Chains A and B, each alone.
Chain A
């Protein structure tokens, strides 16, 4: 352990002596201070704080992510190339300890920088919030600077509905496989439309089951968070709707018809104790427009309730960011254990870019190939490139989804809770599983590698 800590301490000294730490600290603090002055918001205190949180945390994550990759590649590859590593491996320290020492050193640096930047954002948030009028502060405390849990309606079994409806279609089995797939796709869209579309003067109902939470939420206000789209745009950009909430036998509250903008999230407060003895209640929306409105299934309407304070939630959010940085450090070190510095840096940054473009990969996988489906015939033209690429893209997506399933910045900016369970899951998936796999690969590369050449330097 003493030797491992010495290696970690060495990374610290390098970061300090080469002034990387101070440069990064300056950049991070500069971003935290400058971004709120530059960004535009919707004019409300809530909007400003949400945008500030989103932008500053995104910039912090990006800056630290890139510096982590660079530092991880540099500290390992440069030590090997400049032969300092020769002086270390001839001492009584196993190579896996050297590798882990480097990883630990980078994590310590990241932890300090993240704490510095995250702490600054937190302090700035609280300071800005205190400058606001009391009413605005109240809104912030209830909607942003809070950790709120959410409850959704049980998702409909769309695939089951599709199958059941297709079974009733005569001669469906006589169709070719491609035709069956196309019929299934069209039926799926029909079924989803039934759930999502609210025609003019029609109602959409959501049934929410609080379960055991009802005991904790007694006498506490709830709120709805919802977003919808309009089938056609109107002049005002707002659409009239009427909201009612209550049990299946009695509506306990009813809003006045109010105009809401499409394509944006709305939060609507609900009175306390609106559920029945089982914790169930219903939310009804009446479309009072001449055009259809669409309430998407993803993201679906959610009912939010206060679960805890902002401070601890913010800490958990930063901890998930730290898990990502841990993974990036393992990626950089693993690459540098095998490759020279520029190649390792290029490869690991390229991998990061590929991971960030998972949307493109997902659409290729969904469409069944790079060429996609013919929109007229529905046929998918598969080439030999698709045969090679599709399994690769699927594998990448499976790995990326292990990491991307966590969105602490989005949760923090919308005042939603990041449970300890989610943090634990992030740690298990991102650090232990993916980080562990990369660390294992890196240690194997490093252990098998000859660390000298016939010449002095590599």
Chain B
């Protein structure tokens, strides 16, 4: 028997998570206030978005996550997850959770771990077996399935922790420091997986103090400090520099470059113009090196690079051909597929030129959109509210397909 969640999926306007006036005060044995961990926090997470909880250590991110999961109880304020209390049992069937450390049973092996958590979701035996196989392949642990989890390295434990968080094909995935302890390949795979989940309409809450992780995958972020929300909004809103423009192009001849610079200097002072050669980031470079090493069939005794996203997480639990799925995606309602229209994260390979941005720049006397971070509202409509174009959806599918085709090590 499979447990079906009793609550219906929220409508696009209905937030998956709603937090109002959330406050958590830790108390000592005698009930005296000890620490104010979260102070009057408000935010909402909408369906299909990747929402980042960002802040330094001890800022209240994990406490917030634990209250969302019903592990801690709020001192004041109100939380709703899928319109219910965080402690509502049936609602938990729709949630996947990866804690900040791998709290796994050390004496179980990888397969038993996934089977155990699958049982808690009332999955049937064959479904548990099938999903466990796919997840182990996805996280690159197929060859260690009979080793006790207690013998795993921290990174391998994170991988199996991530796999258990996805065993129920959750609608809401809460990831607390998901890349902690992972090697760069694992980090990239986790981020790709988050993007894949988002494209399938899953809602992801990512808590991290690693700015690059959040920047790579999140649509909106809330920034904590001292238990309070310091900023909230889309990355575009928070990170845009409205008084500067960057143009990236292939190298120009010296003459052409002089002409371009000459034209620019007519409007802008010379000390405000910067010209450099773009460099790829270290992560991209590292991944290139490893990819070359893989081609030379280097062996490893640890976790293998996975990358093949579990079929059921891609929505391929049925055996329909991929072309049919693409067609299906193109015809789904805009709200369901809206995450596909999200702007590409900065580190992800995207189009050479943002055409919309170019068009806006080309319009005379029209300033670029600027929203001060502090003024961003919790209920501000995200940039992805516009329906996605067919080209954007096709691009999302292409990205997904590339993930699926990733060779196994």
Give residues in A with beta carbon < 8 Å to B: 2-3, 5-6, 9-10, 13-14, 17-18, 82-84, 86-94, 450-454, 456-457
Q: A451's contact among B62, B71, B90, B93, by CB below 8 Å, is which?
A: B71
The answer to whether B105 and A14 touch across the interface, beta carbons within 8 angstroms, is yes
* 17 extra interface residue pairs, beta carbon distance < 8 Å, beyond A450-B71, A453-B72: A6-B120, A18-B107, A84-B103, A84-B105, A86-B66, A86-B69, A86-B71, A86-B99, A87-B117, A89-B71, A91-B120, A92-B90, A92-B91, A92-B92, A92-B93, A454-B37, A454-B62
The distance in angstroms between the C-alpha atoms of A86 and B97, with both chains bound, is: 10
Contacts of A14 in B (CB 8 A): 105, 107
- Docked-complex contact B71 and A6, CB < 8 angstroms: no
In the bound assembly, the distance between CA atoms of A89 and B88 in angstroms comes to 11
Q: Is the CB of B97 within 8 A of A452?
A: no
**Within the assembled complex, what's the spacing in Å between the Cα atoms of A3 and B122?**
6
A90 lies within 8 A of B70 (CB): yes
Contact B73 A93, beta carbon cutoff 8 Å: no
Report if A90-B119 is in contact (Cβ < 8 Å); known contacts: A10-B105, A451-B71, A454-B26: no
Complex A-B: 18 CB contacts under 8 Å: A5-B119, A6-B119, A13-B107, A14-B105, A83-B99, A83-B101, A86-B69, A87-B164, A90-B71, A91-B117, A91-B121, A92-B3, A92-B91, A92-B92, A92-B122, A450-B72, A454-B37, A456-B101
B5 surroundings in chain A (CB, below 8 A)? 92
With A3-B122, A13-B112 given, is the CB distance from A452 to B71 under 8 Å?
A: yes
**Residue on B with the closest CB to A88?**
B120
The residue from B1, B72, B108, B121 contacting A452, defined by CB atoms under 8 A apart:
B72
* CA distance in complex: A127, B100 (Å): 59
Closest to A85 in B: B103
Q: Are A2 and B1 in contact (CB under 8 A)?
A: yes
Q: Is the CB of A452 within 8 A of B66?
A: yes
In the complex, are the beta carbons of B100 and A17 less than 8 A apart?
Answer: no
B135 contacts partner chain A, Cβ-Cβ < 8 Å: no
Considering the complex, which residues of chain B in the window 107-129 have a beta carbon less than 8 Å from any beta carbon of chain A?
107-108, 112, 116-117, 119-122
Cα A87 to Cα B73 in complex, Å, equals 16
A93 and B103 form a contact (CB under 8 A): no
Segment 9-27 of B: residues with Cβ below 8 Å from A: 26
A84 to B101, CA, bound (A): 10
Which A residue's beta carbon lies closest to that of B105?
A: A84
Q: Which residue of B lies closest to A7 (CB)?
A: B120
Nearest chain B residue, comparing its CB with the CB of A79: B105
| A18 contacts across to B, CB distance below 8 A | 107
Q: Which residues of A contact B101 (CB under 8 A)?
A: 83, 456-457
Give min CB distance, B209 to chain A, whole Å.
14
Shortest Cβ-Cβ A-B pairs, 10 listed: A6-B119, A17-B107, A91-B120, A452-B71, A83-B103, A92-B93, A92-B92, A452-B66, A90-B69, A90-B97
Q: Are A89 and B70 in contact (CB under 8 A)?
A: yes
Complex: how many Å from CA A234 to CA B97?
81
Interchain CB contact under 8 A, B103 and A86 = yes
Which of B70, B89, B99 is A87 in contact with, Cβ under 8 Å?
Answer: B99
Decide if B104 is an interface residue (CB 8 Å cutoff). Answer: yes
Q: State the CA gap A456–B63 with chains docked (Å).
A: 10
Query: Which chain B positions have C-beta within 8 A of A88?
Result: 120
A243 and B5 alpha carbons, distance in the complex (Å): 78
How far, in Å, is A4 (CB) from chain B's closest CB?
10
Complex-state Cα separation, A439 to B244, whole angstroms: 67
List of A residues within 8 angstroms of B164 by Cβ: 87
CB distance from A84 to the nearest CB of B (A): 5
* Residues of chain A within 8 A of B383, CB atoms compared: none
Interface residues of B in 136-167 (CB under 8 A from A): 148, 164
With A86-B71, A90-B71, A92-B3 as contacts: A3 and B104 at CB distance below 8 Å: no
Query: Is B95 part of the binding interface, using a Cβ–Cβ cutoff of 8 Å?
Result: yes
A456: which B residues are within 8 A, CB to CB?
A: 100-101
Residue in contact with A454 in the complex, picked from B63, B112, B122, CB distance below 8 Å: B63
CA distance A18 to B150 in the complex (A): 12
The answer to whether residues A90 and B95 also contact, given A6-B120, A450-B71 and a CB cut-off of 8 A, is yes
Contact with A along B31-68 (1 / 0, CB 8 A): 00001010000000000000000000010001100100
Q: Which residue of chain B is the closest to A15 with respect to CB atoms? A: B107
A82–B106 alpha-carbon span in the complex (Å): 11
- B residues less than 8 Å from A9 (CB atoms): 116
Q: Would A3 and B105 count as touching, CB distance under 8 A?
A: no
Complex contact A3–B112 (CB within 8 A): no
Q: Which residues of B contact A82 (CB under 8 A)?
A: 103
Which chain B residue lies CB-closest to A101? B120
B35, B71, B72, B92: the one within 8 Å of A91 (CB): B92
Q: Given known contacts A13-B112, A450-B73, A454-B26, is B103 in contact with A92 (CB within 8 Å)?
A: no
Q: Of A10, A86, A90, which contacts B116 at CB under 8 A?
A: A10
Complex interface: chain A residues within 8 A of B90 (CB): 92
Residues 202-242 of B, flagged 1 when their CB comes within 8 A of A and 0 if not, give: 00000000000000000000000000000000000000000
Residue of A nearest to B68 (CB): A90
Known: A87-B104, A452-B71. A92 touches B121 (CB 8 A): yes
Whole-angstrom CA separation of A254 from B104 in the bound complex: 76
Which single residue of chain A is at the shortest CB-CB distance from B88? A92
* Given A14-B105, A84-B103, A92-B92, A2 and B119 contact (CB-CB distance below 8 Å): yes
* Residue of A whose beta carbon sits closest to that of B125: A2
CB distance from B223 to the nearest CB of A (A): 19
Chain B residues contacting A451 (CB-CB under 8 Å) are 71
